[in-house]
Copies of this chain bind each other. A is one copy, B any other.
Amino acid sequence: MRSSLQRYGVAALLGCALTAALALEFLTPENHTAIFLTSMLAIIPLAGFIGRATDNLAAHFGGAIGGLLNATFGNVAELIIGAFALRAGFVDLVKASLTGSIIGNTLLVFGLAALAGGLRHPVQRFNRTAAGLGTTMLLLSVVALVVPAVFHALSRRTGQEPELRMDTEIAVVLLLTYLASLVFTLKTHRQPHEPAGLPPRLSISQSIALLVGATAGVAWMSELLVGAVSEAARVLGMSDLFVGVIVVAVIGNAAEHYSAVRMALQNEMDAALSIAVGSSTQIALFITPALLFLSYLIAPTPMNLLFTTFEVMALGLAVLTIAFVAHDGETHWMEGVQMLAVYVILALGFYFLPGGK
């Protein structure tokens, strides 16, 4: 682990240094693209550091507090990027990256895991009950996003203003459900087969220092990233929507991809599914309402829950797909191919869609 920490550190420092160097130069459009890419790449090892620090703190405190730490800091990089984007007024980009993280985690992360694992193991089995609970949570998130979308579509037709108050109340419901799910998974229905967890390698103070340092690094990179994203998208010939839904989300979930595929190769499909579904759920039920509340404090305009028609459709189809795949408690490599095919078709739609739909 020491050595992997060192590798992380070198990668993070290199990425940050490169981004900073570029940012200090005179800002040409080409530089914007380079800053966009290097800052994204710098965030990957920094997010890895946050994960390591959290794991160590969780191992020190153990039990429910450890679980709570993991649940809270699991997608902290997304939260920080989102906060900086909100502050810059990129509300649509934030919503696009939330959508993209959810469909990416369900279809791309779990699809790759099922494909990679399925090529090594003919049939991979997992706990159907846990899978069902996870997909129901995801369905709940889709409900929370479909209702405002249909609502705004209908009320706009009658000439009335979208109701921010409804969105805020829905966000409260999501957050309460998330808290209930923490009580469920950490308290009343702890998985008995949960791994005991490795002994911590870092002391509490070392872990906190690492956590603070890595978080500061993510914040710095996020600020540069957000400043460069629009120009970079234009240069790359992509819409802001596509950059948010596909590019930011794929890179932002690099850690989940790596872990889920590794688990699937070891035939630990329960863990792989839990990473994919757990991360999606956390984004939908925790990061989304958290950013909505935060937007009242830091954003020029508050964030609503009015996701675009295409985003809502993509979320609904992603949840249906993973529910169809996971409901029988088995995966084959072909189901991995099916999930990836759905992801590619959705990505094609986002790519060709004119901006702002």
Contact = CB atoms under 8 A, between A and B. Distances in A.
Contacts of A188: 122, 333
> Which of A140, A163, A344 is most buried by chain B, counting CB atoms within 10 A of its CB?
A140
Interface stretch (A14-22, A35-43, A48-56, A319-327): A319-327
Quick one: copies of this chain in the complex?
3
A348 B170 contact: yes
Nearest to A174: B341
A96 B339 CA distance: 27
Contact of A321 (B143, B160, B332, B335): B143
A139 B324 contact: yes
A226 to B, nearest CB: 26
Interface in A124-166: 128-129, 132-133, 135-137, 139-140, 143-144, 146-148, 150-151, 154-155, 158, 160, 163, 165-166
A341 B176 contact: yes
Interface of A (DSSP majority class): helix
Interface in A232-246: none
B147 A345 contact: yes
Interface in A154-212: 154-155, 158, 160, 163, 165-166, 169-170, 173-174, 176-177, 180-181, 184, 188-189
Contacts of A166: 348-349, 351-352
Contacts of A28: none
A341 B151 contact: no
Nearest to A137: B338
A216 interface: no
B132 A342 contact: no
Interface residues of A, number: 65
Interface in A307-341: 309-310, 313, 317, 320-321, 323-325, 327-328, 330, 332-335, 337-338, 341
Given A151-B352, A317-B143, A344 B180 contact: no
A170 B345 CA distance: 6
Contacts of A93: none
A327 B327 contact: yes
A59 to B, nearest CB: 26
A129 B323 contact: no
Q: Which 4 A-B pairs have the closest CB atoms?
A: A184-B334, A166-B352, A147-B349, A136-B324
21 contacts: A132-B324, A133-B335, A135-B324, A136-B324, A137-B338, A143-B342, A146-B313, A150-B310, A154-B353, A158-B357, A166-B351, A173-B344, A174-B341, A177-B337, A177-B338, A180-B334, A181-B334, A184-B334, A184-B337, A188-B333, A327-B328
